[in-house]
């Protein structure tokens, strides 16, 4: 079985917190993919965000990290804060099919990912 990693970036705003996600067949999913060869899950997500999405990962701060179950598979899920989400970052994400979506629209996503402990980002979705 291929080990997978997922990641998101939270963006707290006056209107509420949004999360970086991908929309697949009408459903929101965390940005996820197989762990890269000879890399850890964390280094894989950082590499993809830097080299494929185009985000300056030096501006990311790890907010939370959990092992979650999505369907029958365990995935490492990393949640980051970014020091400044601007139009350039939003456009780089959009080109990779990633968008920032308000937490209030992501209840189905949060419910579909099961963790052994309550992740701290779950409180932000209310």
Q: Report the CATH number that the domain containing residue 98 is assigned in CATH.
A: 3.90.79.10
**Structural domain count of the chain:** 1
Beta carbons within 10 angstroms of residue 100's beta carbon: 19
pLDDT given for residue 126 in this prediction: 52
Higher pLDDT pick, 61 / 14: 61
Q: Is residue 126 part of a domain?
A: no
Q: Is residue 33 part of a domain?
A: yes
Q: Has residue 24 got a pLDDT over 80?
A: yes
Percent of the chain with pLDDT over 70: 90
Which of 47, 44, 46 is closest to 35 using CA atoms?
Answer: 44
Higher pLDDT pick, 2 / 11: 11
What residue numbers bound the domain in which 94 lies? 4-120
- Reported as a single tens digit per residue, the pLDDT across 71-121 is 778 899 999 998 789 999 999 999 999 999 999 999 888 777 776 655 555
């Amino acid at each position: 079985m291929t080990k997978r990693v997922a990641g998101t970036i939270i963006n707290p705003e006056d209107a509420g917190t949004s999360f970086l996600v991908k929309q697949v067949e009408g459903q929101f999913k965390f940005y996820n993919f197989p762990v890269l060869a000879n890399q850890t899950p964390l280094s894989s997500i950082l590499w993809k965000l830097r080299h494929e999405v185009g985000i300056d990962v030096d501006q990311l701060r790890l907010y939370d990290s959990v092992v979650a179950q999505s369907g029958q598979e365990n995935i490492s899920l990393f949640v980051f804060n970014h020091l400044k989400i601007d139009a350039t970052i939003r456009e780089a994400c959009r080109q990779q099919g990633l968008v920032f979506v308000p937490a209030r629209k992501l209840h189905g996503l949060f419910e579909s990912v099961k963790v052994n402990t309550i992740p701290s980002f779950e409180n932000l979705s209310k």
